[in-house]
Amino acid sequence: MRRIRKDDLVEVITGKDKGTSDNPKRGRVVKLYEDRDKVLVEGVNYVKKHERIQSQRGGGQEGCIIETEAPIHLSNVMPVCPSCGKATRVGFVYETEGDRRSKVRACKRCEGTF
């Protein structure tokens, strides 16, 4: 089970998009690259990409510079707990419902579940 999933709210804790202690940068996880241990977070880690000129019949497209989001390493982000609203480490607890047992993520600060 992963500590960070798609659609989680995460806070950047290191790197160029760290923000300040008063105003940390946060965003939703758009895509998870499990094989590379990276996540794509919306509104974080913008990079400039140069696009080539495409010459085709019927009108070609001009070259331009596009700003797009790039993946960021999992170790540079920390999930935000929905109950206490702070960036926290993630632990796992087992919840029982009748005869079923399920493993869920839990906040290490307030011990609420995600």
The residue among 40, 37, 35 whose CA lies nearest residue 10 is: 40
In the CATH hierarchy, which top-level class contains the domain 1-80? Answer: mainly beta
Q: What is d(CA 107, CA 113) in angstroms, rounded to the nearest whole number?
A: 6
Indicate the DSSP class of residue 52: P
Q: Tell me the pLDDT tens digit for each residue of 22-48.
A: 899 999 999 999 999 999 999 999 999
Domain ranges of the chain: 1-80, 83-114
114 versus 49: the higher-pLDDT residue is: 49
What predicted TM-score, i.e. pTM, was given to this entire model? Answer: 0.82
What confidence tens digit (pLDDT) does each residue in 60-94 have? 678 899 999 999 999 999 999 999 999 999 999 99
